[in-house]
Chain A
Amino acid sequence: MTQLEKNSVWQGTLSLMVLRTLLTMGEQHGYGIARRIEQTSEGKLSINYGTLYPALLKLEQEGLIRSEWGLSDNNRKAKFYKLTKAGRKQIERDTRQWAETSAIMTRFLAASED
């Protein structure tokens, strides 16, 4: 799979990945979220930063995360994002939905192989 193909497959799930990352890591800035996602995917995913920040903005506008300026580990000024209560509930919903979708696709793929 090429880089472009990898990105286009996962782009629809970026919001869920961001929320899960914040759930796991706690408060984090945009760069850190992107690095974490790439690390979690073991380098198979490459985040387009042009779409990451609009996605973060969208989640913030919907009240699923909130942001605050702070200082990073190496004293750099950065905008940190944190999960809200609504965000946690959204993770549960999206995770459940993703599991259902994944199970259905798995069944389809198994049936077609048969």
Chain B
Amino acid sequence: MRMLRAWWSRIAGFVRPGAGEREFADELQSHIDLHTDDNIRAGMTPDEARRQALVRIGSVAGAREAHRDRRGLPGLEAFVFDLKIGGRMLVKYPGITIVGGLAMAFAIWVGIVIFQVVGLFVHPTLPLPEGARLVEIRSMDVAANVQEEKILHDFLEWRQSVRSLTDVGAWRDSSRNLIVSAGDPRPVKVAEMSVSGFRVADGEPLMGRVLVEADEQPAAPAVAVIGYDVWRTRFGSDPNVLGRAVQLGNEHTTVVGVMREGFEFPVSHDVWLPLKTSVLDQKPRSGPAMTVFALLAPGETIQTAQAELTTAGRRAATELPATHQHLEPRVRPYAMMAAPGEPGDQPIMYSIYFFMAVLLILICGNVGLLLFARAATREADLVVRTALGASRGRIVAQMFAEALVLGSVAAIVGVTAADFALRTWGTVFLETNMGRLPFWFDLSLSPRTFAAAIVLTVAGAAIAGIMPAMKITRGMGNRLKQTTAGSGGLQFGGVWTVVIVAQVAATVMFPAVVYMEQSLLRGVQDFDPGFANEQYLAVQVERDYPVDGGSNVDDATLERNARLAATLEELRRRVAAQPGVSGVTFTEDLPTTNHPGKIIDMGYDLDLSDVASAKSDGGASALAGGSNAEPPLREATIAAVDPSYFEVLDAPVLAGRGFTTADAVPGTRVAIVDQGFVDQILQGRNAVGQQVRFRYPGPSSQRWAPGNPDDPAGPGDWYEVIGVVRELGVGAPTQAGRAAGFYIPATPDLFDQIHMMVHVRGGDPMTLAPQVRAVATAVDPSLRLVGVQRANEANNDVLWVMGLWLRITVVLSAVALILSLAGIFAVLSFTVARRTREIGVRVALGASRQRVVVATFRRPLLQVTLGIVVGTAIIFTAATLIKYTEFPGSESDLTLQGMAMIIGYGIVMLGVCMLGCVVPTRRALNIEPTIALRTE
């Protein structure tokens, strides 16, 4: 208690030093006066009495200092004083302030952005009152190591029996067209959700009501609750929206409530429908895919809930061995839904933190180099301070304080820039990669992120301040003797050599990375799709499937497909009838986007004598009687297209014939190849009539997966090549090398994803978008058109991300270059300053100035050259590796031209780095021996 009181008093003394100073001055004066009075009473004269009193009291300054030290916090006061010195240093050395400050600001900016974004995945928090208690319950099939999503049966069981959880609810996700009166249909994200979802998420409506238990009854009227944004954009903020009839896909419903702004539970949903579980298939591991949520009961933890669910899981495994033998219920925080892997199991995410730390160390190490050079010019001052009693720790603390001031200014700039970047680009970047973001993703800087900024600033200041301080103060006592003897002093040692070399190497590498990124970006922008894709409207078609209670999955699939084929055909017919439309076709993947690749066998590799027998036994007889050599590894890029594809794309057949409707009948094994396939794989052979098969076809559910070499099913059936077309963008511009296009005809209902391409002659194809939507709604309201865009915009997302990375790399390169030049300048300036006398002596003795300068700069220039060589070697190695790995088995090495380019680039960088030498070299050349010899 006493100690606490004493510390509190000292803190008060630190905060208000003036009051204590004045009071003690009064007390000292009072002491002197009292002693003087006593002396006068003892018989002295007033003057003598006062003099004796002053002599007796001793050093007033000493007394004041001792009292001041006791009154406040001397260590902290000294640190504050150092911070003030640091502030003055910022002004006195503007070059280092700007260069070092910008560099540290960049490091902090990168660190903050990474921390905030990664934190969304590894430390997500729900902005809900009960967010900490909200959990997700999953069912894991531990044998197959996949999540079982058909858990309606389990959900109903858990809701009844689990005591450690309350408000157990579920939701299923769907996207449906929202058709509002005569407005065009647009897809909205719909959640069929248990009513407890509104309770756990604090869902208060803006108007009307939320869903209630009565809405979940099978015979209840169809009702919907809409989100604030939907109400604003689709209903024009209509105050009379309640009771309006709307159409969601095939379902007609009535609006009963509007949610408040910002409510998007369960993830990022716009419309809520009641989850009518009684009409769904409730058999174990049947029915629709669902997500289950719940609140931890008061006093319960995730561990206790997990224990209870594990017991329930074991019980279910005993009672339902056929379906539940390998199923295990798992509980996790709800917000971890967006995180990859299990909670606490995100090594990749934490490795990003490692990159952040390395970047901070690199940049701040270089700033430390500049601060060392600056401190070296004050060596005499530091030596004198040491002689007067300053400890090593005191000087190190002072230099740390100077670096902290610089770092603090840098942190303000870095944090401001990070906040701007996250607000401007963060959401777009994440949405490009993830689609719509969960409602709990908040990119505004959190208190945790601000704390991280402080940690980064202090860590950066420690690296930039303490490292050079330790170097400066090492052997200070000996240096005192050496300095007074007129010799010796600080040198840039081994650590700084590594720092300089690493910095220069990084400076060399980054522009090469920029060049590579720019080449890739230009490659994407300039990629030739082989047809006039600016004239085409590209639309992805999605469809709802109505809920069939208790129906058989296979029958339902067949029925859906049968209806879908007819629906798409009607859609094609009606769109083609629109004015300005000259053709409509379908494809599984849009041109210039990623297409699947498959390893193929060519018939001539296997020396087939009887294609028919080879086809019937899968080529086994051919293999047995054919060549002993392993067939070469060839990959084709697969495109599943509608038979009308080439006609609509105005791509005439160059050899053979095009597809017909009959070719799209399942089981018909024909294909068309493009010129890339002819040139690279056929290499001069006639394409028409060639036999091609997939070496590893894979299961029908993953038909375009690369395939498993260990699959016992063996190679697929043979396809006959019936025609050749020109290259039509079957390979994505981001894929290395030239694609070998292999087109397979199919009806669009069999595609994994359906893209419709509409050829619009004259004008912007986007002007047709509203008519296409209207036609689609008229054909089938459950048809959803997403990603409506011009066909030449298919890679806009990729371009945006690449452009962002390019901008970041350019900034990084600029920072690295500035730091390098500043570092080289600092090192050489320091060298000139240290060796001024020596240069003067040598010139006075007759040595040529140029030779003396070369000899003086030899070591630092060697360091720079070594950095250039290291950086160039890394680029060379990387270029070779990239070429080699992109084309496994290829013989293409780095060409002579490529090597010459890299070497030439290294020479250019050497010249750029020499810019840092200009001013110090001029100084050295202008040293007058007579002046230099007077230098102490």
Give bound CA distance, A50 to B67, whole Å.
8
A54 touches B30 (CB 8 A): no
A48 touches B70 (CB 8 A): no
Determine if B934 is an interface residue (Cβ-Cβ < 8 Å): no
Determine if A29 is an interface residue (Cβ-Cβ < 8 Å): yes
Chain A: CB-nearest residue to B1:
A63
B66 touches A79 (CB 8 A): no
Contact of A50 (CB < 8 Å), options: B37, B63, B71: B63
Chain A: CB-nearest residue to B29:
A77
Residues from chain B with Cβ under 8 Å of A64 in the complex: 2
A61 touches B6 (CB 8 A): yes
Determine if B10 is an interface residue (Cβ-Cβ < 8 Å): yes
A49 touches B34 (CB 8 A): no
A54 touches B69 (CB 8 A): yes
B71 touches A57 (CB 8 A): yes
Contact of A74 (CB < 8 Å), options: B6, B9, B28, B37: B37
Determine if B51 is an interface residue (Cβ-Cβ < 8 Å): no
Determine if B527 is an interface residue (Cβ-Cβ < 8 Å): no
Determine if B27 is an interface residue (Cβ-Cβ < 8 Å): yes
B66 touches A51 (CB 8 A): yes
Determine if B763 is an interface residue (Cβ-Cβ < 8 Å): no
With A50-B66, A53-B24, A54-B69 already in contact, the answer to whether A32 and B6 are too (CB < 8 A) is: no
B35 touches A31 (CB 8 A): yes
Residues from chain A with Cβ under 8 Å of B9 in the complex: 60-61
B67 touches A76 (CB 8 A): no
Contact of A57 (CB < 8 Å), options: B33, B34, B59, B70: B70
Contact of B30 (CB < 8 Å), options: A35, A61, A62, A79: A79
Q: For window 48-103 of chain A, which residues contact chain B by CB distance below 8 Å?
A: 48-51, 53-54, 57-58, 60-64, 72, 74, 76-79, 86
A53 touches B63 (CB 8 A): yes
Residues from chain A with Cβ under 8 Å of B30 in the complex: 29, 31, 76-79
Contact of B70 (CB < 8 Å), options: A30, A35, A58: A58
Give bound CA distance, A29 to B2, whole Å.
23
Contact of B34 (CB < 8 Å), options: A32, A53, A58: A32
Chain B: CB-nearest residue to A35:
B38
Contact of B31 (CB < 8 Å), options: A30, A62, A63, A74: A30
A31 touches B5 (CB 8 A): no
Determine if B58 is an interface residue (Cβ-Cβ < 8 Å): yes
Chain B: CB-nearest residue to A32:
B34
Determine if B62 is an interface residue (Cβ-Cβ < 8 Å): yes
Determine if B77 is an interface residue (Cβ-Cβ < 8 Å): no
Determine if B57 is an interface residue (Cβ-Cβ < 8 Å): yes
With A62-B5, A79-B27, A79-B30 already in contact, the answer to whether A53 and B37 are too (CB < 8 A) is: no
> Smallest CB–CB gap between B776 and chain A, Å?
82
Determine if B26 is an interface residue (Cβ-Cβ < 8 Å): yes
> Smallest CB–CB gap between A27 and chain B, Å?
15
B interface majority secondary structure: helix
With A49-B63, A50-B63, A54-B69 already in contact, the answer to whether A61 and B33 are too (CB < 8 A) is: no
Chain A: CB-nearest residue to B68:
A54
Residues from chain B with Cβ under 8 Å of A76 in the complex: 30, 33-34, 37
B6 touches A62 (CB 8 A): yes
Residues from chain B with Cβ under 8 Å of A35 in the complex: 38
B6 touches A30 (CB 8 A): no
Give bound CA distance, A77 to B25, whole Å.
13
Residues from chain A with Cβ under 8 Å of B23 in the complex: 79
With A49-B58, A51-B66, A62-B5 already in contact, the answer to whether A30 and B37 are too (CB < 8 A) is: no
Residues from chain B with Cβ under 8 Å of A72 in the complex: 34
Give bound CA distance, A109 to B31, whole Å.
40
Indicate the size class of the contact surface on chain B: 20 to 34
Interface flags, B65-84, vs A, CB<8A=1, else 0: 01101110000000000000
> Smallest CB–CB gap between A43 and chain B, Å?
14
Residues from chain B with Cβ under 8 Å of A79 in the complex: 23, 26-27, 30
B31 touches A54 (CB 8 A): no
Give bound CA distance, A7 to B921, whole Å.
62
With A54-B69, A72-B34 already in contact, the answer to whether A49 and B2 are too (CB < 8 A) is: no
Residues from chain A with Cβ under 8 Å of B58 in the complex: 48-50
Give bound CA distance, A64 to B9, whole Å.
13
Residues from chain B with Cβ under 8 Å of A51 in the complex: 66
A30 touches B5 (CB 8 A): no
> Smallest CB–CB gap between B173 and chain A, Å?
66
With A51-B66, A53-B67 already in contact, the answer to whether A62 and B27 are too (CB < 8 A) is: no
Interface flags, A19-34, vs B, CB<8A=1, else 0: 0000000000111100
> Smallest CB–CB gap between B817 and chain A, Å?
56
Give bound CA distance, A3 to B66, whole Å.
21
Give bound CA distance, A53 to B24, whole Å.
9
Interface flags, B1-25, vs A, CB<8A=1, else 0: 0110110011000000000000110
Chain A: CB-nearest residue to B20:
A57
B26 touches A77 (CB 8 A): yes
A50 touches B5 (CB 8 A): no
Chain A: CB-nearest residue to B8:
A61
Give bound CA distance, A62 to B31, whole Å.
23
Give bound CA distance, A64 to B26, whole Å.
22
B27 touches A63 (CB 8 A): no
Give bound CA distance, A29 to B37, whole Å.
14
Give bound CA distance, A94 to B5, whole Å.
20
Give bound CA distance, A53 to B70, whole Å.
9
> Smallest CB–CB gap between A48 and chain B, Å?
7
Residues from chain A with Cβ under 8 Å of B10 in the complex: 61
Residues from chain B with Cβ under 8 Å of A86 in the complex: 2
Contact of A61 (CB < 8 Å), options: B5, B28, B63, B66: B5
Residues from chain B with Cβ under 8 Å of A50 in the complex: 58-59, 62-63, 66
Chain B: CB-nearest residue to A86:
B2
Interface flags, B188-227, vs A, CB<8A=1, else 0: 0000000000000000000000000000000000000000
Residues from chain A with Cβ under 8 Å of B62 in the complex: 50
Give bound CA distance, A16 to B670, whole Å.
107
> Smallest CB–CB gap between A84 and chain B, Å?
11
Give bound CA distance, A9 to B5, whole Å.
29
> Smallest CB–CB gap between B454 and chain A, Å?
31
> Smallest CB–CB gap between A47 and chain B, Å?
10
B57 touches A62 (CB 8 A): no
Give bound CA distance, A62 to B35, whole Å.
28
A54 touches B35 (CB 8 A): no
Residues from chain A with Cβ under 8 Å of B71 in the complex: 57
Residues from chain B with Cβ under 8 Å of A29 in the complex: 30-31, 34
With A48-B58, A62-B5, A62-B6 already in contact, the answer to whether A31 and B31 are too (CB < 8 A) is: yes
Residues from chain A with Cβ under 8 Å of B26 in the complex: 77, 79
Chain A: CB-nearest residue to B71:
A57
Interface flags, B472-491, vs A, CB<8A=1, else 0: 00000000000000000000
> Smallest CB–CB gap between B25 and chain A, Å?
11
Chain A: CB-nearest residue to B7:
A61
Give bound CA distance, A78 to B26, whole Å.
8
> Smallest CB–CB gap between A33 and chain B, Å?
10
Give bound CA distance, A72 to B33, whole Å.
11
Give bound CA distance, A50 to B925, whole Å.
57
> Smallest CB–CB gap between A68 and chain B, Å?
12
> Smallest CB–CB gap between B39 and chain A, Å?
12
Residues from chain A with Cβ under 8 Å of B37 in the complex: 74, 76
> Smallest CB–CB gap between B9 and chain A, Å?
4
Residues from chain A with Cβ under 8 Å of B33 in the complex: 76
A49 touches B27 (CB 8 A): no
Contact of B5 (CB < 8 Å), options: A57, A63, A74, A78: A63
Give bound CA distance, A31 to B67, whole Å.
16
Residues from chain A with Cβ under 8 Å of B70 in the complex: 54, 57-58, 61
Q: For window 405-430 of chain B, which residues contact chain A by CB distance below 8 Å?
A: none
Q: List 14 A-B contacts (CB under 8 A).
A: A31-B34, A35-B38, A49-B58, A50-B58, A51-B66, A53-B63, A54-B66, A57-B67, A60-B9, A61-B10, A61-B70, A63-B2, A76-B30, A86-B2
Closest 4 A-B residue pairs measured CB to CB? A54-B70, A61-B9, A61-B6, A50-B63
For the complex with contacts A53-B63, A61-B6, A79-B23, 8 further pairs of A-B residues with Cβ separation under 8 Å are A35-B38, A50-B66, A53-B67, A54-B69, A64-B2, A76-B30, A78-B30, A79-B27
